[in-house]
C-alpha cells in the first residue's frame, strides 16, 4: 500500500466526526467580533495602519494566538480517540502497515486539518469583510492573494507547532496531560514572542510571524522582524526531531 492510499484511509476515518463544524464555528466566532466592532478600525491613526489592513491583522492575531493552536490540540484528540475507541489501533497495528508510516499519515491529516481551518477562516474573513465594508461604507477587503499569503505564512510557521502537539499526543498516554500540556503551551506565546529566544518555542511561531507582519503594515509600530537564521534551522530541527520520536513511539504502548 502506498503512502497516499494510507493518507486517504486516514482521511476517511474522520467522516461524521463533526470536526469541520467545530472548525467552522471557531472561524465564525473569530470574525464576528471584528464585524461587530468594525468601526474601531478607523481609530488606528496612532499605529499608522490602514483600516483594511487592521481588520485583517486583528483577526489573524486572534487566530494565531489561541484559536488555531487550540483547534489543533482538539484535532490531535480526535485523531487519537478515533483509534482508541473500539480499539481500531489494534486492528491497524495487526495489518501489514508500518507504524511509522501510519504515524506520518496521521500527521499529514493533522496538517490537512490545519490547512482546512485556515482556509475556512479565510473564507469567513471575506464574508465578514464584505458585511463590514457594507456597514462602514468603506472597502475593508484586501486582495485575495495578499490574504492567502498572510494565511500561508501562518500555516507554514505552524508546522513545527503541529509536530510538537502530535508528539505530545503520541507519547503522553494520559489524555488529561497531553491535552493539558498542549493547551497550556498556547498561553505563554504572547510573552515569549517578546524575548530573543522565541525561536525555541514553536507554539509561538504563528503569533510571532503575524506580529512581524503587523509591524510591517503599521508605520508607527516597532515589532521584531522575522530573522530566518536561527529560526529556520531551529524550526526544521524541532519538526524533524518531533516527527522522528513520534514515529518511534507510535503504537509502542500496545
Partner 1 sequence: MSFYLECKKMKRTGLVPAFFCGGLLAAAVPVLNMAFRSEMYLGLDAPPIQILMEANWQMMSMLNILLVTAGACLMYHTEYADNAIQRICTLPAKESRLFLGKSAFLFLMCAVILAVEAAGMAFCIFHWFGHFGGLWSVFKSFGYAFLLMLPAVFGSLWIASACRNLWVSLGISVVCIFTATLLPVKNFALSLFFFAMPFQILADTPPQAARRFMIAAVAELLVIAAGELIFLKLRRSFT
C-alpha neighbours within 13 Å on the C-beta side of residue 4 = 0
Q: What is the smallest separation between the CB atom of 128 and partner 1, expressed in angstroms?
A: 14
Closest to partner 1 by CB, 188 vs 230, is 188
The rounded distance, in Å, linking the Cα atoms of 99 and 82 is 16
Q: What is the smallest separation between the CB atom of 143 and partner 1, expressed in angstroms?
A: 26
Q: What is the smallest separation between the CB atom of 236 and partner 1, expressed in angstroms?
A: 29
Closest to partner 1 by CB, 98 vs 254, is 254
Q: Judge contact between 188 and 146, C-beta under 8 A.
A: no
Applying CB under 8 A, which residues contact partner 1?
17-19, 22, 25-26, 29-30, 33, 62, 66-67, 70-71, 73-75, 77-78, 81, 85, 174-177, 179-180, 183-184, 187-188, 190-191
In which residue are the cell numbers 474573513 written?
125
The rounded distance, in Å, linking the Cα atoms of 204 and 188 is 8
Q: Judge contact between 132 and 38, C-beta under 8 A.
A: yes
Closest to partner 1 by CB, 33 vs 99, is 33
Contacts of 227 (CB under 8 A, 6+ apart): none
Q: What is the smallest separation between the CB atom of 150 and partner 1, expressed in angstroms?
A: 20
Q: What is the smallest separation between the CB atom of 19 and partner 1, expressed in angstroms?
A: 7
C-alpha neighbours within 13 Å on the C-beta side of residue 69 = 30
Q: Is 85 exposed, middle or buried, given 0-12, 13-18 or 19+ CB atoms closer than 10 A?
A: exposed
Cell, residue 139: 472597502
Q: What is the smallest separation between the CB atom of 38 and partner 1, expressed in angstroms?
A: 14
The rounded distance, in Å, linking the Cα atoms of 246 and 104 is 9
Closest to partner 1 by CB, 16 vs 229, is 16
Closest to partner 1 by CB, 30 vs 226, is 30
Q: Judge contact between 140 and 41, C-beta under 8 A.
A: yes
Closest to partner 1 by CB, 67 vs 102, is 67
Amino acid at each position: 500500500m502506498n503512502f497516499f492510499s494510507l493518507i486517504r484511509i486516514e482521511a476517511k476515518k474522520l467522516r461524521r466526526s463533526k470536526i469541520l463544524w467545530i472548525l467552522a464555528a471557531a472561524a465564525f466566532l473569530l470574525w464576528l467580533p471584528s464585524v461587530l466592532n468594525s468601526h474601531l478600525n478607523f481609530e488606528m491613526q496612532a499605529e499608522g495602519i490602514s483600516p483594511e489592513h487592521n481588520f485583517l491583522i486583528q483577526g489573524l492575531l486572534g487566530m494565531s494566538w489561541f484559536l488555531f493552536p487550540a483547534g489543533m490540540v482538539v484535532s490531535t484528540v480526535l485523531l487519537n480517540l478515533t483509534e482508541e475507541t473500539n480499539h481500531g489501533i489494534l486492528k491497524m497495528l495487526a495489518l501489514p502497515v508500518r507504524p511509522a508510516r501510519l504515524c506520518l499519515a496521521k500527521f499529514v491529516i493533522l496538517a490537512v486539518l490545519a490547512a482546512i481551518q485556515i482556509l475556512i477562516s479565510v473564507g469567513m474573513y471575506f464574508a465578514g469583510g464584505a458585511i463590514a465594508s457594507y456597514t462602514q461604507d468603506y472597502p475593508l477587503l484586501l486582495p485575495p492573494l495578499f490574504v492567502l499569503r498572510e494565511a500561508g505564512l501562518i500555516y507554514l510557521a505552524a508546522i513545527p507547532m503541529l509536530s510538537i502537539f502530535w508528539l505530545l499526543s503520541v507519547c503522553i498516554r494520559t489524555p488529561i496531560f497531553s491535552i493539558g500540556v498542549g493547551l497550556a503551551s498556547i498561553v505563554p506565546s504572547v510573552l515569549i514572542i517578546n524575548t530573543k529566544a522565541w525561536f525555541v518555542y514553536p507554539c509561538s511561531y504563528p503569533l510571532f510571524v503575524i506580529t512581524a507582519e503587523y509591524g510591517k503594515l503599521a508605520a508607527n509600530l516597532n515589532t521584531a522582524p522575522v530573522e530566518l537564521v536561527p529560526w529556520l534551522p531551529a524550526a526544521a530541527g524541532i519538526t524533524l526531531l518531533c516527527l522522528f520520536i513520534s514515529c518511534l513511539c507510535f503504537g509502542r504502548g500496545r
